[in-house]
């Protein structure tokens, strides 16, 4: 897509200078890292409230407080209506002020493009789009009634969204390609159809009655053995046909209609991503709002990159670098594991508000266990005056960053937290992790008391809350050297392989890494603090780090 004439002046300002490399995604071992100016990056982020970034005055007191919370990356919306209030006339003053304020506080940004859709709806589009329903038709209910959602089938809507998004990306390249303040871009926000499974307008009806595109059929055929179980079952139960209409391939019910919706949204997002990357080729992703169990498509945002529709989005959106889960439900462990795949890195752009006591443990788990490139609670500025445990947890992760980035993709790191089910049933039996030549067992309850069976009730609500908030990370730094960080955990260990049947603690120091990265030791722990050399314990309610060395004996 050609850069708009009105942007050529801004682009020309940097045309004579050497071009910096934009942020990019790089494979490392078994994972993928975000690399900026040649260095891997871990984003300890926070997402702003939906309207916060639209006002520099509102945001003025928050930037420093976010930095003081040990946040290093702010996820900030840029609204279509804000940058193109009149068609073809762009105003990037709010974007430029946001860049200036972020840089002044040594913060990075992830831009959230609120274009055609935000939380399914189309309320962030400019007035000239909202009011021209002939050119920008709405999605329709079966009775022909329009909804506050633009139809994904309308070419004019895609073209207008592409033009605005490309203009934004071209501007970012013009003003930020040296500093790399902006690390990534989110394409739209929580796409999905409501309150029915699909658009029933004339363009959508005609497409639904037509053949399933060859690109989707080819993907399903080539990936048959690795399709998510729901998609594989849906296709095979309807005969695993390789051509036909949507109803013929996926059955006559709403499941076929949701696959159709997912395909149309994925194709729109793919073409929007392509336009944005043509202007500034940085990592771009699409996020997803999860469905509640037992709800039908349309009762939740139908057709987004949900777990059962990931394959449709992978087939329809090859330009999209990855799909990211927004996680507000208690079953965090189960949900995020569905998005850590060979073809999809893990990034959590939205999660429980940081005041939620389980948010820090979720961050430790995603980063330590699944090599997440970042974690970001929602409405981060709402708690920056009283950040509580979240600030302490992020302080520990900031100290561990070099070791985390070095260990990603190598098998030398693990994260852990108690697993919860959707109904908040707490499963907290001890877990094991093999790291290096030792097997670690992590307990979340008092090690001196019997542990409940999976799903059993804890004796009281305060104990349950403490266990649910527990979590941590183990990183191997040498043959027998480890960093153990977290809170509410007790860790025991035994050797793997030859060289001694038992494991003991050679040394265990509590401490911290200072601003230069130097380890500053505190107490050398022994005796009661290590249960006479039997375990490492990080007490509930206090996020910390211990540096340990193990040894073997018979």
Same domain, 59 and 200: yes
pLDDT in tens, 377-425: 999 999 999 998 999 999 999 999 999 999 999 999 999 999 999 998 9
- Looking at residues 512-520, what average pLDDT do you find? 97
- Rounded-to-integer distance, Cα 113 and Cα 169, Å: 10
Mean pLDDT (the chain, rounded): 93
Better-scored residue on pLDDT, 149 or 452: 149
- Looking at residues 136-148, what average pLDDT do you find? 97
Domain boundary among 373, 408, 443: 408
- Rounded-to-integer distance, Cα 324 and Cα 186, Å: 9
Same domain, 402 and 493: no
pLDDT of residue 457: 54
CATH code assigned at 160: 3.20.20.80
- Rounded-to-integer distance, Cα 255 and Cα 262, Å: 11
Same domain, 354 and 489: no
Q: Are 309 and 316 in contact (CB under 8 A)?
A: no
pTM: 0.93
Check pLDDT > 70 for residue 16: no
- Looking at residues 198-215, what average pLDDT do you find? 98
User: Would you call the peptide bond into 60 cis, given omega within 30 degrees of 0 as the criterion?
Assistant: no
pLDDT in tens, 153-163: 999 999 999 99
Same domain, 399 and 450: no
Q: Encoding tokens for residue 118?
A: 């935000």
Kindly calculate the radius of gyration of the chain based on its CA atoms and give it in whole angstroms.
25
- Looking at residues 521-546, what average pLDDT do you find? 95
Token pair 């849906």: residue: 234
- Rounded-to-integer distance, Cα 119 and Cα 149, Å: 10
* Distances, alpha carbon 142 to alpha carbons 201, 209, 347, 503, in Å: 8, 15, 36, 67
Domain boundary among 392, 408, 424: 408
Measuring CA to CA, which residue among 458, 445, 192 is closest to residue 304? 192
Does a structural domain hold residue 65? yes
Q: Encoding tokens for residue 111?
A: 């831009």
Q: Encoding tokens for residue 74?
A: 């702010």
- Looking at residues 292-319, what average pLDDT do you find? 97
Same domain, 345 and 436: no
- Rounded-to-integer distance, Cα 245 and Cα 112, Å: 35
- Looking at residues 222-249, what average pLDDT do you find? 97
User: Would you call the peptide bond into 195 cis, given omega within 30 degrees of 0 as the criterion?
Assistant: yes
Q: Are 493 and 442 in contact (CB under 8 A)?
A: no
Q: H/E element holding 361?
A: helix 359-370
pLDDT of residue 9: 38
pLDDT of residue 60: 96
Measuring CA to CA, which residue among 341, 363, 546 is closest to residue 440? 546
Better-scored residue on pLDDT, 177 or 11: 177
- Looking at residues 519-527, what average pLDDT do you find? 97
- Looking at residues 523-536, what average pLDDT do you find? 95
Same domain, 444 and 500: yes
- Looking at residues 206-229, what average pLDDT do you find? 98
Check pLDDT > 70 for residue 2: no
pLDDT of residue 452: 42
pLDDT of residue 108: 98
Same domain, 435 and 393: no
Better-scored residue on pLDDT, 77 or 12: 77
pLDDT of residue 498: 83
C-alpha of 75 from chain center: 11
Three-state SS sequence of 213-240 = CHHHHHHHHHCHHHCCHHHHHHHHHCCC
Same domain, 378 and 345: yes
As a whole-number percent, the residues of the chain with pLDDT over 70 amount to 94
pLDDT in tens, 313-334: 999 999 999 999 999 999 999 9
Sheet holding 350-351, edge to edge: 350-351, 322-327, 284-289, 182-189, 108-118, 73-79, 43-47, 374-375
Number of domains in the chain: 2
Residue 299 — pLDDT band, cuts 50, 70, 90? very high
Residue 449 — pLDDT band, cuts 50, 70, 90? low
Residue 454 — pLDDT band, cuts 50, 70, 90? very low
Q: Are 445 and 428 in contact (CB under 8 A)?
A: yes
Does a structural domain hold residue 245? no
Domain boundary among 391, 408, 425: 408
Same domain, 269 and 396: yes
Check pLDDT > 90 for residue 505: yes
Does a structural domain hold residue 126? yes
Q: Which residues of 84-100 are buried (b: 16+ CB within 10 A; e: fewer)?
A: beeeeebebebbebbbe
- Rounded-to-integer distance, Cα 175 and Cα 183, Å: 13
Residue 354 — pLDDT band, cuts 50, 70, 90? confident
Does a structural domain hold residue 484? yes
Does a structural domain hold residue 237? no
Largest Cα separation within the chain, whole Å, is 81
Does a structural domain hold residue 537? yes
Q: Are strands 182-189 and 284-289 parallel, antiparallel or unpaired?
A: parallel
Give me the domain span that covers residue 539.
416-553
Same domain, 258 and 337: yes
Does a structural domain hold residue 257? yes
Q: Encoding tokens for residue 195?
A: 């309150």
Same domain, 61 and 100: yes
In three-state secondary structure terms, 467 is helix
CATH code assigned at 452: 2.60.220.20
Among 6-15, 78-87, 295-304, 357-366, where is mean pLDDT lowest? 6-15
Same domain, 75 and 150: yes
Check pLDDT > 70 for residue 5: no
pLDDT of residue 460: 67
Does a structural domain hold residue 379? yes
Q: Are 203 and 268 in contact (CB under 8 A)?
A: no
Give the residues across from 197 on adjacent strands: none
């Amino acid at each position: 897509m050609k850069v708009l004439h009105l942007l050529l002046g801004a682009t020309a300002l940097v045309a004579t200078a050497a071009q910096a490399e934009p942020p990019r995604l790089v494979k490392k071992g078994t994972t993928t890292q975000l690399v900026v100016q040649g260095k891997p990056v871990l984003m300890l982020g926070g997402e702003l409230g939906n309207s916060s970034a639209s006002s520099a005055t509102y945001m003025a007191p928050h930037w420093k407080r976010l930095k003081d919370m040990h946040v290093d990356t702010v996820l900030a919306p840029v609204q279509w209506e804000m940058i193109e209030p009149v068609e073809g006339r762009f105003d990037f003053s709010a974007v430029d002020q946001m860049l200036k304020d972020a840089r002044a506080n040594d913060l990075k940004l992830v831009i959230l493009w609120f274009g055609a859709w935000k939380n399914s709806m189309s309320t962030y589009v400019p007035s000239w789009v909202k009011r021209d329903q002939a050119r920008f038709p709405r999605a329709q209910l079966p009775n022909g009634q329009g909804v506050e959602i633009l139809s994904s089938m309308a070419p004019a809507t895609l073209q207008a969204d592409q033009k605005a998004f490309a203009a934004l990306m071209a501007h970012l390249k013009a003003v930020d390609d040296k500093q790399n303040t902006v690390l990534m871009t989110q394409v739209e926000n929580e796409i999905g159809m409501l309150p029915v499974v699909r658009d029933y307008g004339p363009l959508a009806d005609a497409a639904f009655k037509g053949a399933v595109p060859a690109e989707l059929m080819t993907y399903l055929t080539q990936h048959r053995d690795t399709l998510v179980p729901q998609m594989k079952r849906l296709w095979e139960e309807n005969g695993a046909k390789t051509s036909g209409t949507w109803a013929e391939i996926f059955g006559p019910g709403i499941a076929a209609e949701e696959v159709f919706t997912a395909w149309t949204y994925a194709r729109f997002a793919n073409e929007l991503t392509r336009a944005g990357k043509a202007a500034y080729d940085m990592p771009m992703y699409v996020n997803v709002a999860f469905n509640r169990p037992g709800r039908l498509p349309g009762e939740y945002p139908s057709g987004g990159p949900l777990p059962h529709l990931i394959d449709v989005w992978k087939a329809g959106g090859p330009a999209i670098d990855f799909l990211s889960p927004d996680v507000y439900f208690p079953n965090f462990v189960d949900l995020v594991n569905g998005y850590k795949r060979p073809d999809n890195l893990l990034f959590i752009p939205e999660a429980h508000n940081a005041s939620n006591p389980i948010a820090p443990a979720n961050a430790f788990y995603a980063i330590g266990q699944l090599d997440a490139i970042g974690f970001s609670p929602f409405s981060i500025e709402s708690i920056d005056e009283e950040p509580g445990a979240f600030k302490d947890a992020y302080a520990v992760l900031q100290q561990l960053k070099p070791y985390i980035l070095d260990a990603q993709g190598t098998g030398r790191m693990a994260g852990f937290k108690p697993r919860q089910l959707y109904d908040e049933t707490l499963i907290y039996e001890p877990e094991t992790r093999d790291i290096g030549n030792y097997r670690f067992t992590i307990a979340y309850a008092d090690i001196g008391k019997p542990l409940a069976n999976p799903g059993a009730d804890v004796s009281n609500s305060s104990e349950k809350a403490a266990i649910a908030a527990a979590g941590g990370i183990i990183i191997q730094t040498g043959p027998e050297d480890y960093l153990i960080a977290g809170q509410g955990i007790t860790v025991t260990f035994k050797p793997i392989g030859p060289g001694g049947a038992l494991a003991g603690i050679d040394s265990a120091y509590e401490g911290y890494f200072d601003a230069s990265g130097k380890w500053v030791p505190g107490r050398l722990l022994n005796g009661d603090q290590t249960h006479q050399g039997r375990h490492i314990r990080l007490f509930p309610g206090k996020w910390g780090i211990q540096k340990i060395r193990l040894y073997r004996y018979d």
